[in-house]
Structure 1
Amino acid sequence: MTDLLNVSGLSVFYGAKAQAVENVSFAVPSGKVVALLGANGAGKTSIMKAIAGLIPARGAISFDGVDLAGTPARERVKRGIVYVPEGREIVREMTVRENLVLGGYHLGGRERKDRTAMVLDLFPEIANKADGAAWRLSGGEQQMLAIGRGLMAGPRLLLLDEPSLGLAPMLVRRVFDRLRAIRQETDLGIVLVEQNLVMSMRLCDDLYFLRGGMLVGHRSAEELKDSAARQEAIDVYLGAAA
């Protein structure tokens, strides 16, 4: 299977000496979901921002076989790489529909209208609030809006940064249910940053574990179905962070 995304020897520095990510390598095959797991400060968000072109990085990042070196963030979006940041970052004063339109700003009117209808069909929780202010949505609904806004761009690779952050368990399940529906209905590749191992393994094909900016382990979701293997991964890679 062809790799949609290939990250090789990725390193990220903040300032002259502060290294956030060191020599990280992984791949995302077409249509697959890969999780990056680890505690706060493990380097997960830095990796996502580097892939999205939002911060400089060393190493190689290729998308659909093409090296992305020197490619600005705006161009990466046009090629199909869309980043949904931690904390949702919706425009609270705008309506739900206006937030979606922002996500598809580069599309023609007809395509933008069709994609808006698709997103609202996928997330019925926000469909009947489409013309209301985004700040009125619950936390889970705001996360659905953030994901929907990302889908408006027609991505081939969706970078999701901690979609469960700050949500009650019931809302986490609802968000992940929608993500499972997305992967069943499309060939979208997803990189998921999470701290929730149980929810991640239900959605993902492969899970990579990070600590201190370094890749310290890899397991397939199939391997982690075994309770002993799952507990071993928690003890060895996540510890108290799990």
Structure 2
Amino acid sequence: MTDVLTVNGLSVFYGARAQAVEDVSFSVGQGRVVALLGANGAGKSSIMKAVAGLIPAVGTVTLRGADISGMPARKRVARGVVYVPEGRQIVGHMTVRENLVLGGYQLTGPRRKSRMEMVLDLFPEIAEKADRSAWRLSGGEQQMLAIGRGLMAEPRLLLLDEPSLGLAPLLVRRVFDRLGAIRQESDLSIVLVEQNLAMTIRLCDEVHFLRSGRIVGHQDAESLRDPAARQAAIDAYLGASATAA
């Protein structure tokens, strides 16, 4: 079966000399969740933005066997590549419902309505506040809205950048519970950027560890569910600042 996403030899430069990502390659199968883990500055977000077409990059990005490396971001969205950025970036003065409409702007009216019903069923916390301004939501609810807005576009590949950033542990668990429900109810493929290893391995199938813009290790999530193996991976790839549990 053809992978949904194949990234081959990806490199990202900022300016003439600053290299953020160096020769990164990985793939994502249908319905699989692949995580990119690393400390701040490891190149995770640069990889996501390059796959989404938001920044220029060297290398090849293939979606379902088709080379999309030269496509602008809007055309990648039309093909099913949807990026949920770090920091949520919702439109605070608009309502929850209006934010969701923005996510599904390219859909026809009936499809957008059906998709919104699905998203609100998945996230009852924001469904109860659908006509409230988005800035009034809690941090966890804003993250649910950001993910829901991404789902409105009917993605084939969802790029989730630091969904736990700035959230209290209880809210992190709630957000990851919803992501788990998405996994169970669809064949959506997900690339997840995170620093929280313990939460990530509950959701993903495999993990790529990044340091200084390069992939320095790869393990399947099942092996990392053993506490000793998880700690060994943290020590080897992430360092003492990583979240182990």
What's the TM-score once normalised by structure 1's chain length? 0.99
- Amino acid in the other structure paired with 2:140: G
Identity across matched positions, percent: 76
Deviation of 1:112 (Å): 0.5
Give, in whole Å, the separation in 1 of the partners of 2:219 and 2:69.
29
Q: Report whether the alignment pairs 1:64 with 2:64.
A: yes
Q: Which residue in the other structure is 2:127 paired with?
A: 127
The residue aligned with 2:76 is: 76
Residue 69 of structure 1, CA deviation:
2.1
Q: Structure 2, unaligned stretches of length 5 or more?
A: none
Tell me how far 1:226 sits from its aligned partner.
2.0
1:105 equivalent in structure 2:
105
- For 1:146, give the aligned amino acid: A
1:241 CA displacement? 2.8
> Which residues of 2 match residues 25-44 of structure 1 at below 5 A?
25-44=25-44
Query: Could you tell me how far apart the structure 1 residues matched to 2:68 and 2:116 are?
Result: 29
Once residues 69 and 141 of structure 2 are traced to their aligned partners in structure 1, the CA distance between those partners, rounded to angstroms, is 36
Q: 2: distance between equivalents of 1:151 and 1:112?
A: 11
Q: State the number of aligned residues.
A: 242
Give the 5 Å matches for 1:218-233: 218-233=218-233
| Structure 1 counterpart of 2:154, one-letter code | G
Cα deviation, residue 222, structure 1:
1.0
User: Structure 2 matches for 1:1-242, cutoff 5 A?
Assistant: 1-242=1-242
Give me the whole-angstrom Cα distance separating, in 1, the residues matched to 2:177 and 2:222.
19
Query: How far is 1:223 from its partner?
Result: 1.1
Contact 1:195 1:241 in 2 (8 A): no
**How far 1:231 moved relative to its partner?**
1.1
Q: What secondary structure, in the 3-state scheme, does the structure 2 residue paired with 1:41 have?
A: coil
> Counterparts of 2:131 and 2:183 in 1: how far apart (Å)?
27
Is residue 38–residue 241 contact of structure 1 (8 Å, CA) maintained in 2?
no
TM-score normalized with structure 2 length: 0.98
1:35·1:192 contact (CA, 8 Å) conserved in 2?
yes
The answer on whether the counterparts of 1:120 and 1:126 sit within 8 Å (CA) in structure 2 is yes
How far did 1:46 drift?
0.2
SS at match of 2:42: coil
Distance 2:128 2:225 in 1: 38
Instruction: Give structure 1 regions of 4+ aligned residues with deviation exceeding 2 angstroms.
Output: none
Structure 1 CA distance, aligned partners of 2:140 and 2:66? 36
What is the alpha-carbon distance in structure 1 between the residues aligned to residue 65 and residue 186 of structure 2?
20
Using the TM superposition, give the Cα deviation of residue 189 of structure 1 relative to its aligned residue in structure 2, in angstroms: 0.2
**Counterpart Cα distance in 2 of 1:221 and 1:69:** 29
Q: Deviations over 1:138-189 (max 9, x none)?
A: 0000000000000000000000000000000000000000000001000000
Q: 1:91–1:99: 8 Å Cα contact kept in structure 2?
A: yes
Indicate the larger mover: 50-59 or 223-232.
223-232
SS at match of 1:240: coil
